[in-house]
Amino acid sequence: MLLPATGEEARWTQGLDTFGQQVAHTVMASCASKGGFDLPSDAPPPAFIRLFELPDLDFIARYGFSHSAEVPLPAAPAATGRSGSPDEVRRCQEEGAAAAGVLRGTYAPLQAAWFKELGSLNEDPATVEALAALPDCLAGHDIEVSDEDGFFRHTDTRLQSVAPADLPRENRVLGSAYADCMRPVEAVREPIRERLRTDFLADHAAELDKLRETLVPSLRGAEEEHGVRLSFPAP
């Protein structure tokens, strides 16, 4: 969950990161209920956030880019019909953020150090060479872009412009093309990430030993305290 090196492993990381959102959301809702008011209806619910540094190609090939799995939450408190004042809402938001911060504080610094390490792949010669072949592969799928960022811009435009009835098909077509063309890139990057992780584990052995003892109990404790459940995107 903490140090993913492949797209499939990143599903575990999405669950870990979303768990903090679940805790924050639940604490905010409880705070508002105790205060006798409703949270703003436009507040976004917790959602799994993909890690495109680690593309989960099997998942993307199956679901495309607009698939959104539901994140389980406790039953919402009964509506009161009263909107909270800005100060009331802010206080509950701060309570939620603080609860999530306590949880994330146990692992976030080490996780951030790992993702900074992954950033080194951007300049890796083998990765650069593999990515250089991406436009030609995508052109074979009738997608004319100059690089990966161009593909994502193309995808955003296409998914926003097609008729709703055509969206599922277009989503699958784009996901399939991306997965097909990125497999050679991931075939290069995954072994590099795994070597980096081996070195990272050795360099941070003491911190990781401590986390092995504390992380899972802290997650289970938060589940018990807040009535939330650690969950992951469907395979």
Q: What is the pLDDT of residues 113-163, one digit of tens each?
A: 999 999 989 899 999 999 999 999 999 999 999 999 999 999 999 999 989
Q: Does residue 231 fall inside a structural domain? A: no
Residue 1 included in any domain? no
Whole-model pTM: value is 0.86
Per-residue pLDDT of 36-75, as tens digits, reads 999 888 878 888 888 888 999 999 999 888 766 778 888 8
- Whole-Å CA distances, 70 to 48, 67, 224, 232: 8, 10, 21, 10
In angstroms, the CA 47 to CA 70 distance is 7
Q: Which tens digit of pLDDT belongs to each residue from 177-187?
A: 999 999 999 99
Alpha helices for 36-82 (secondary structure H): 57-63
User: Percent of the chain having pLDDT more than 70?
Assistant: 98
- Tell me the residue range of the domain where 170 lies: 7-226
Residue range 69-87: average pLDDT? Answer: 87
Gap between the Cα atoms of 158 and 163, Å rounded:
10
Task: Please give the tally of structural domains in the chain.
Answer: 1
Does the residue 235 lie in any domain?
no
**Token pair of 130 as six digits:** 């593999």
Asked whether residue 68 is assigned to any structural domain, the reply reads: yes
Alpha carbon distance 163, 47 (integer Å)? 25
Note whether residue 2 is domain-resident. no
Query: Are the C-beta atoms of residues 118 and 196 closer than 8 Å to each other?
Result: yes
Residue 93 in domain: yes
